[in-house]
Chains A and B, each alone.
Chain A
Amino acid sequence: MQSGKIVVENLYKVFGDKPQDAMRLLKSGESKEAVFAKTGQVVGVNNVSFSVDEGEIFVLMGLSGSGKSSLIRLINRLMDPTDGRILLDGQDITRMSQSELVALRRRDMSMVFQSFALMPHRSVLDNAAFGLEIAGMGRKEREARAMKVLEQVGLAPFARKSPHELSGGMQQRVGLVRALAVNPSLMLMDEAFSALDPLKRAEMQDILLDLQRGQSRTIFFVSHDLEEALRIGTRIAIMEGGRLVQVGTPQEIIENPADDYVRDFFKSVDTSRYLQAKDLIDPGAAGLVVNGHPANHAELDKHSWVACVSKDHKLLGLVGREMLRSEGCVPSERCVPISPVAPASCLPDVLQRLLGQTEPLPVTDGEGRYLGVITATSVLTKLSAHRLQSAVH
């Protein structure tokens, strides 16, 4: 059995009055469209399996109608699945009774909504304390706890106001506080920032990342905004027509999109911002000298710079080609020491370093081992290739 905070196995959701007919067809391999044509049943979620690790921000992406809103509602059973299992901390929530479910929702999970879904008749503080009140906590204690979280997001001065007196961004902060106040181990966020303007959205993402720092809370975030997913996601899952198309880290998905649907998502996004130093290395830009002796004499002439590394491939420094030709071998004190960059450095940082020096920029891994160099030419080449690739697809 897979482990993880949430494990979803072969999950199906069929909308309609004869879901079992649809299930029979789906299991015999019929497509969602064929099922609709034959039975009139709408397949919302079609054989989805994945797992979410504890402490990660798992972003579920897809266009509207892809089934992502259904999937998030299956996880806290606002909807009942037609078939399949959902394990939360190893417990199968699809078999829980209503009262077990109520206890679980009060203890372990909370939700943030696209339309904020605040209660207009309650003050900001009472909204923030809603979950605690439902769980039966006394007034003093729940107000103190809600107030503490309101302070964290800077809303304490507005505690006595009505939600409608607040701006959209502030209202959603109240929504976030309401979800956090119950201190859940799993927070579900359904297009939580989609109704906000881009500036407010970025601000809320920062707040969320801030609040998440040092926490082991798991966040399941549904979004249709790729920039958002890339910004906050530990891992991203992409859904299309009720099926899961791809699951992976932002890097994996950018570098290796599973199909055209996934690639289409990137069309409007400048993914070059997400290029990292390791993607920009030019293998032919510098020669290599190991422990003072050139690795390949014939190739040395082609490069104007040579990287010197120790026996165990630790970077010592760079050296000009002229120097090498005159002496044949390099004593380590002749190397020009240049501080290297990490493989995960992002493009803007790399560009800044390159602009400040004439030498190429070496890349080393965490233990100081040499991986290659980046030159202005290699960056430009990579970028233009990247643009071309996006344009073709």
Chain B
Amino acid sequence: MSDFWQRLISNPHDFLPIGEWVNNFIHFLLDNNAGAFDAFGRAVDLFAESIEVALLSLPPWLIMGFFAALGVWRLGWRFAGFVLAAFALIFGTGFWPQTVATLALTLSATLISLLVGIPTGIWCARSKRVNTLVRPVLDFMQTMPAFVYLIPAAMFFGLGRVPGILATVVFAVPPAVRLTSLGIRQVNKEQVEAGHAFGCTPTQLLFKVQLPIALPAIMAGVNQTIMMALSMVIIASMVGAGGLGNDVLSSIQRLDVGLGFESGLAVVLLAIILDRLTESFGRGPAARQGQAQ
């Protein structure tokens, strides 16, 4: 008996090898579902690659012009000027192709995240049970150090774009789920009652009352998802996702502060542009009105 206690105290990990269980589970999945993972990975790769190829085939001035036009529409001339200056700086330092690649990765990861996140958020808002089940999962996804997802992702899908995007999706989905669910729950009780009182079916209630009123919150979730995706896409270069992350990574490996600063600056500028633009879509009609006056 005392022998048992001694072993427990000197080497407790022998008795609770969670890490080993996870390893076994991952290997089990790998051994038994390789075909499914391959097919899924190919689908994701096709989706992401087509976005990247499309963006890279566009001339730089068209992309710059598109963002500048969005800037004029949503935030005014001053922001459009900033967009052009920022892109000119990125272009001038020679990081344009990598920036577009990062933009493409962020875009595909965000789209997948929203495709998963918004319906899950709606489901959470409708069912208390689903909500209690999903919440701890979201906490786990958000607080687990982001690097950790890269390992199994790389094991399942090999190196390259796919594990990077999927690890990013895991990291970027929670705000989309949370804010969609929150937005729908925050719809005034009497507004929901008004929907029912005038004879809405559940589908009509969702699309004509709940989602439109929750739109500012959902857009805030989209904004958060994009920002999380952008930050994770950089880290995902460790599994070969490509883009600006590669430059950041090599600056670390070579202790090249200058390269690190240049590539980091491109990330920051891209982040600011994406943040301000998507944030402007998240404002309610009242806020937009106030700005117009």
List residues of A whose CB falls within 8 A of some B CB.
73, 76, 78, 102-106, 109-111, 113-115, 117-122, 130-131, 133-135, 162, 164-165, 178, 182, 188
Contacts and interface: CB of A to CB of B under 8 A. Distances in A.
B134 interface: no
Contacts of B199: 102-106, 131, 134-135
What 7 pairs between A and B have smallest CB-CB spacing?
A106-B199, A105-B199, A111-B197, A117-B190, A117-B194, A131-B198, A121-B212
A194 to B, nearest CB: 13
25 contacts: A73-B193, A102-B200, A106-B199, A109-B197, A111-B193, A113-B193, A117-B188, A117-B191, A117-B193, A119-B208, A120-B286, A121-B213, A121-B215, A121-B285, A130-B194, A130-B198, A130-B208, A131-B198, A134-B198, A134-B200, A134-B208, A135-B199, A162-B285, A162-B289, A178-B198
Interface of B: 188, 190-191, 193-201, 204, 208-209, 212-213, 215, 284-286, 289
Contacts of B188: 115, 117
B3 to A, nearest CB: 52
Nearest to A188: B197
Interface of chain A: mostly helix, strand, loop or mixed: mixed
B168 to A, nearest CB: 31
Interface of chain B: mostly helix, strand, loop or mixed: helix
Contacts of A120: 213, 284-286
Nearest to A133: B208
A105 B197 contact: yes
A105 B193 CA distance: 12
A109 B198 CA distance: 8
A110 B197 contact: yes
B204 A114 contact: no
A90 to B, nearest CB: 20
A135 B204 CA distance: 10
Given A119-B213, A134-B204, A164-B285, A113 B198 contact: no
A97 to B, nearest CB: 13
Of A106, A120, A130, chain B has the most CB atoms within 10 Å of the CB of: A120
A243 to B, nearest CB: 24
Nearest to B212: A121
Contacts of A119: 191, 194, 208-209, 212-213
A73 B194 CA distance: 11
Contacts of A133: 208
Nearest to B211: A121
A114 B190 CA distance: 8
Given A113-B190, A117-B191, A120-B213, A78 B197 contact: yes
A133 B209 CA distance: 12
Contacts of A76: 197
A162 B288 CA distance: 12
B196 A78 contact: yes
Given A76-B197, A78-B197, A117-B193, 9 more contacts: A102-B199, A104-B199, A109-B197, A111-B197, A113-B193, A117-B190, A130-B198, A182-B198, A188-B197
Contacts of B208: 119, 130, 133-134
Contacts of A117: 188, 190-191, 193-194
A190 B268 CA distance: 52
Contacts of B198: 105-106, 110-111, 130-131, 134, 178, 182
B94 to A, nearest CB: 45
Contacts of B284: 120
A288 to B, nearest CB: 58
B217 to A, nearest CB: 13
Contacts of A78: 193, 196-197
A117 B201 CA distance: 18
Contacts of A102: 199-201
A165 B197 contact: no
Nearest to A162: B285
A375 to B, nearest CB: 53
B288 to A, nearest CB: 10
Contacts of A164: 285-286, 289
Contacts of A121: 212-213, 215, 285
